[in-house]
Structure 1
Amino acid sequence: MLRGELPLEVQDLEDEIEGLTTRVEKIANEIADYQRAISQKKGEIADAEASVERYKAQLDEVKNNREYDTLSKEIEFQTLEIELCNKKIREANNKIADKQREQESSEALIAERQSDLEVKKNELEEIMEETRVEEEKLKEQVKTLEAKIEGRLLTSFKRIRRNARNGLGIVYVQRDACGGCFNKIPPQRQLDIKMHKKIIVCEYCGRIMIDPELAGVKIDKATGATEEKKGRAKRSIRKTSTSKKSTDANDME
């Protein structure tokens, strides 16, 4: 309505913060997994070292070369196990260092986005406070207009609007294209739109399409560009979308 893109910006920031928070939690879990793996490897090293000491002690008691060779191989095997565990520990520590840097980066980004979010929320709150009275009047107009629209059509319109990225359920034709997704509209469908005899929806984005005249927009015939009457900015359509869309839907019945 009168808030422009601020609600979308706030939502985008909240979504990004949520995603970053999830990432930080995932990283923390991965770090914990590596730390558990390190503890396990340290336990294996302790067991292997104890085995090596035991086998070395047994070397003094061997009675033949076969027993000596067997103990020597066990000592060699346990020594290799210790080296392998130490290698795994080094790799895990390197992974932890990488993950900690990634975690710090994500946490810094979260703090930055939270600061941006606070600013946007304050801006939005100020606008809402400044326009509260006007918005209440517009909401009353919306209720009045909605009462005149067939329930099935109103439900469909609200569904379209919820699914639209920018909240616009009704858009006007701009340069032979949908004003919502900007895909080209076939000439016959443009003619159907101008006839105002039935509701025409974009086959790409699902938005209801109307001609510029019905939206209060005049066309520069020389360039094909659209310009709103009374010098209002194009974004005013977005600002008054709820009341205007309801009126347009009623007119198209």
Structure 2
Amino acid sequence: MATTKELSVEDKLRAIYDLQLIDSRIDEIRNVRGELPLEVEDLEDEVAGLKSRSEKLKADLDVIEEQIKAKKNAIDEHKEAIKKYTKQQETVRNNREFNSLTKEVEFQELEIQLAEKQIKEMKASIEYKKQIIATSSEKLAQKSSHLEHKKSELDAIMAETAKEEAFLTEKSAEFQAQIEERLLAAYTRIRTSVRNGLAVVSIERGASAGSFFTIPPQTQVEIAARKKIITDEHSGRILVDSVLAEEEREKMENLFSSI
């Protein structure tokens, strides 16, 4: 196999344009997926968050129910204490003992009132949390259904394109290995700096593809001669002549159709 140093300028131009065609095809495949992977990821996070919130609220309900039970037990104890102090009042020897017992009874009654108020507040909290749980459950069902739909959509696209993408990614690496480091670095730099990922373009109707800037006739002659690497002074893209581009497109189409 020839080394990259033995490649002619024309061979380099063909190799870099082939690489562009392969990478553009990979871009097309990934564009089909679009934002789906991110949508699925966001939905998964949202569903996990809703589940976590519902579980926490349900755990809160259990805690509140236990607290209500404890308050009810405390009320029973306060009532028993009132009975005891009231009974003791029947056998007191003086007013001071009677008044002391009366205060104890009043204290127990206040404790009962406080406990009943707290139970009422806790029951209201339970109803509020149940409403939130119901709303969250409804939202969770909707989001889960939406997630399953998006996952199925993504899985279908992945199944359809996975083989082709893997093949093209391997081919991209093969072509990169044929291109000298400096030229490949320039290609990568240009490709990442332009929106459509086109680092190598052909001359179409006297202008670089996708550009309104006309290429001077002398420059067009030099590009067609394929004796040196020429870039567009406006976009920085590497330029190839339309004949070479057509030949390589046909070659790559045959490669793509064989997948």
TM-score (norm 1): 0.59
Tell me, in whole angstroms, the C-alpha distance in 2 between the residues paired with 1:59 and 1:219: 104
Q: Does 2:127 align with 1:117? A: no
| Other-structure match for 1:190 | none
Answering whether residue 64 of structure 2 is matched by residue 64 of structure 1, we say no
Q: 1:136, CA displacement in angstroms? A: 2.4
Give the equivalent residue in structure 1 for 2:120.
90
Q: What SS class does the counterpart of residue 62 from structure 1 fall into?
A: coil
Aligned-pair CA distance for 1:210: 1.2
Q: SS of 2:210's equivalent?
A: strand
Q: Structure 1's 199 and 130: CA in aligned 2 closer, same or farther, altered over 3 A? A: closer
Q: 1:218 aligns with which of 210, 215, 227?
A: 210
Q: Distance in 1 between matches of 2:161 and 2:114?
A: 69
Structure 1 position 100, deviation (Å): 0.8
Instruction: Indicate the percent of aligned positions where both proteins have the same amino acid.
Output: 38
User: Could you tell me how far 1:138 is from its partner in structure 2?
Assistant: 2.2
For normalisation by structure 2, the TM-score amounts to: 0.58
Q: Specify the alignment match of 2:130 in structure 1.
A: 100
Which residue does the alignment assign to 2:65? Answer: 35
Change (3 A) 1:198 1:121: closer
Unaligned runs of 5+ in 1: 150-195, 201-207, 227-253
**Contact 2:187–2:199 (Cα < 8 Å) also in 1:** no
Q: More helix by proportion, 1 or 2?
A: 2
Shift of 1:140: 1.6
Q: Does 1:144 align with 2:136?
A: no
Q: CA deviation at 1:129?
A: 2.5
Q: 1:63 to 1:147 in 2, by over 3 A?
A: farther
Q: Deviations over 1:49-89 (max 9, x none)?
A: 11000011111111110011001000000000000000000
Hey, what's the Cα distance between the residues in 2 that align with 1:215 and 1:107?
Answer: 53
Q: CA deviation at 1:197?
A: 10
Aligned residues: 170
User: Separation in 2 of the partners of 1:139 and 1:20?
Assistant: 38
What is the distance in 1 between the residues matched to 2:82 and 2:188?
A: 88
In structure 2, the gaps of 5 or more residues are: 1-29, 180-185, 202-208, 214-234, 236-259
**What is the CA-CA distance between 1:198 and the residue it aligns to?**
9.8
Using the alignment, how far apart are the partners of 1:83 and 1:98 within structure 2? 23
Residues in 1 aligned to 2:168 and 2:80: alpha-carbon distance in whole angstroms: 81
CA RMSD of aligned residues (A): 3.0
Deviation digits for residues 73-132 of structure 1, max 9, x if unmatched?
A: 000000000000000000001001111111111111111111111111111122122223
Distance 1:14 1:45 in 2: 47
